[in-house]
Structure 1
Amino acid sequence: MTAIAPSLISPEGGEAPSPSGKAGEGVLHFKCCDLNKYETENIKVEINPCTLYTDIDFDYSMSKDTLPGKFAPVHTVDKSEVPLNANYTLSIKTKSIPQKLQSKATIVLLDGKNNMTAIAPSLISPEGGEAPSPSGKAGDEAWITTETKYFGRFTVALDTVAPSVRPYNIFNNKNMSHAKIIGVLISDNLTGIKSYRATVDGKFILMEYEYKKALLFYEFDEHVSKGKHTFQVEVTDGKNNARTYKAEFVR
């Protein structure tokens, strides 16, 4: 994926798109079997051949204002309901994200009430940069790039909140002699759970995940003997925010 700063074009001009696909706002005819590109000062869309099931009149607009707590205007990337056969590449120019927080930036899809769904992974690159760096190092203005199968309303938000890890059937110093499992409930508010790692007395244990209950659990076996033990689990989200839960228990 790339994020290339295009030539300056006024987003408020409303000029008709040129054959190259460069314009401020407007409609451009996309043929499903072609490589289709749309590019402004603030956004870049690239749709590979055969990603669209049919030709579309691609419609784009950008809001004048930025929503509170967001780092880009709202970009409406087409309004059609034509399904996509594969992901396309979407790059958005960000506004004034502190360098230390740029690795937390993510492109989000907004619903009618501006509720957010993160589009992951979202990688950031400096102004005018080429391939985004996973390190997220960039200047005050940068491009953020992702791949998605959705059209709709997009902006840029930060995910700085660690996942939630809540005890399911354990508390500190609990007697678990008759328990079959040890479990925690996990969730994340935006970019989702990326990984987890659990130990008993510092030794790795393999936990299972029950999606419907958001339950992460370990079924006791011969590896946990009678006596006092320390359970610890660390859960990490899509932007590397991590939370640790720790408790002692007795078998």
Structure 2
Amino acid sequence: MELRSDHFHSGLDMRTEGREGLDVKAAGDGWVSRIKVGPWGYGKALYIDHPNGYTTVYGHLSEFTGAIADTLLARQYRARSFEVDLEIPKGLLPVKQNQVVAYSGNTGGSGGPHLHFEVRRTSDQHALDPERYGMDVPDDVAPIFSGLRIDPLDSTARVQPYPNGALGFVVAATGNGFALKDGAVPEAIGTVGFSVNVIDRYTNSSSTCGIRSLKVTVDGVPVFSASLEEVDFGLNRYANAYMDFGLFKENDMHYNRCYKLPNNKLKVYGAEAGQGRITVTSGEEKRVAIEAVDPNGNRSELRFTLRGVTAEKAATWPMPTVQGQLFRYDRENTIANSTARFTLPPMSLYADERIVLSTDTTPGKAAAMRYAPLVRLHDRLTPMHLAGQLSLKADVARAGKHADKLLIVRVDEKGKIKPVGGTLSSDGWISSKVKAFGDHTVMLDTLPPKVTAIGLKPVMTGRNSIILQVSDDLSGVDQWKGELDGRWILFEYDPKQKMLIHHFDRYSDRPGKHELKMEVRDERGNTGKLTARFSR
């Protein structure tokens, strides 16, 4: 399973030569069990149950075919909503193997045209490895190690600094496996764990893929194992605890932890007593072997020696900086100052962390747009499992009659603004749930979304669709409603293209003169409108 921020990537992404509209065929006989459509995630997605107890999933589709498309359209009009999640009764929409059920696309969170394909076990909807179910992808490439980290696992453990200020020991291929570059021998004292930067590739492919399993032995004794055979979507966010989240997000490094953090509920780990926690004492040398296996059984092994040092030598190494308020992962924690409060429920962190809260009041152009100081909530490279409650003291007097348009926003490392939202209380504090650490402030959104017709002509005879460009300056598009001659019609929202699209259908394709009305509302309630007339 490939590592991604906040989840494991399940299934296969199949390239479509940069094109949309390719035939998508059912993998086997069965029946449509679910149709899910929305602007995010898999976009337009189809789920087919099969008699053998498995479900195949097809994501980022552009459109469906035949009775599937007809059923979806009817249900969308009944719900008066583009976004639907339909459970389809068995037998209503049967399909045959190789039947064209949809066409490939780029909908939802897709970064380019492709088909996302999954195999799931129907009974629990866990995602399984498609290569075990007939997806034959050539693979003679074994996993590739490129880095090793040794992580202290308690407050007394110390680890030798990495060479030349690197983020880990460099790993290089040898004649019969992998070893640390230049024969390096890491040194440590206390309880530590290993993390390895390891990826996999297929034959003649440069794409980065994930491994299937890891196993660690120390002096020939198994101390850790993990097997990524399937994905439980209810536990998928614990991927942030499986990997080194900070190095993945900041450096695109695929460090797999070879130890289990305290608040990690993934059911992928073996029964080894220490779960990868290794205690090293002065004067001993431990021979370590880490084996990685890919989905097709190709294996690679990294071997090295870990040397224990005296406390006196360890004391000469630079001490890590310790600051902030200690948050225990298994308790509710709160940190506050005069302009911000943050409360995190129990089990929101994967281990104990020291959390820093500070305020930036530096003047400038960006500061002039804020209705609260810039609050630096810890570090965006620390993962958060459950959402915390962030409250900021807003300048309500300055907002005046528009105070209800205030919202919390997140400011990323490049200064880009991302809306969060929030509710304003009578005492001037605005509060919202946040699911990531980082910089936040308060801004004001009084501008309505802009709605502009693209290619809407007085005569639309022969045209297949109506396309509207829609944009919002801050809080983001929240709701939209299109009407033709006073009747609701379906508009699909594509946030990547900032478009609302209506495909003329059996409910709207009527000859004569027509009046189109569109209302688009942002998250703060500002409404943009468009009215246009045309004939068909």
Pairwise same-fold verdict (TM > 0.5): yes
Q: Which residue of 1 aligns with 2:531?
A: 246
1:213 Cα deviation (Å)?
2.3
| Separation in 1, partners of 2:512, 2:466 | 15
Q: Retained in 2: the 8 A contact 1:53–1:82?
A: no
Q: 2:515 matched to 1:212?
A: no
Alignment of 1:114-193 (within 5 A): 114-120=415-421, 122-127=422-427, 142-171=428-457, 174-193=458-477
TM-score of the superposed pair, with normalisation by structure 1: 0.78
Q: Which segments of structure 1 move beyond 4 Å, counting only runs of 4 or more? A: none
Residue 237 (str. 1) matches residue 534 (str. 2): no
**8 A Cα contact 1:32 1:53, kept in partner:** yes
Q: Which structure 1 segments of 5+ residues have no match?
A: 1-25, 128-141
Q: Do the aligned partners of residues 62 and 50 (structure 1) sit closer, same or farther apart at CA in structure 2, a change above 3 Å counting? A: same
- 1:199 to 2:483 alignment: yes
Which residue of the partner structure matches residue 78 of structure 1?
378
CA-to-aligned-CA distance 1:40-67 (integer Å, 9 cap, x gap): 2221100000011121111111123461
Question: In 2, Cα distance between the equivalents of 1:239 and 1:165?
Answer: 17
Report what 1:7 is aligned to: none
CA deviation after TM superposition for structure 1 residue 80, in Å: 5.8
Structure 2 residue 369 is matched with structure 1 residue 69: yes
Write 1 or 2 for the structure with the bigger share of helix: 2
Q: Which residue is equivalent to 1:94?
A: 394
Q: Deviations over 1:90-122 (max 9, x none)?
A: 0000123334211110111113453311113x1
CA distance in 1, matches of 2:359, 2:340: 9
Describe the shift of the 1:101–1:40 C-alpha distance in structure 2 as closer, same or farther (beyond 3 A): same
Of residues 383, 402, 406, the one that matches 1:105 is 406
CA contact (8 A) 2:358 2:375 kept: yes
8 Å CA contact 2:380, 2:436 repeated in 1: no
Task: Give RMSD over aligned pairs.
Answer: 1.7
- Unmatched tracts of structure 2, length 5 or more: 1-322
Cα distance change of structure 1 residues 219 and 64 upon mapping to structure 2, 3 Å threshold: closer
2-structure distance, mates of 1:195, 1:126: 27
Deviations along 1:191-220, one digit per CA (max 9) or x if unpaired, are 111100011111111222234322212221
Q: Distance in 2 between matches of 1:64 and 1:236?
A: 32
Q: Which amino acid in the other structure matches residue 114 of structure 1? A: G
Provide the C-alpha distance between the structure 2 equivalents of 1:194 and 1:110, rounded to a whole number of angstroms.
20
Which amino acid is 2:378 matched to?
A: D
Asked which structure has the greater CA Rg, the reply is: 2
Structure 1 position 40 matched with structure 2 position 337 = yes
Identity %: 28
What is the TM-score of this pair, normalised by structure 2?
Answer: 0.38
Aligned to 1:137: none
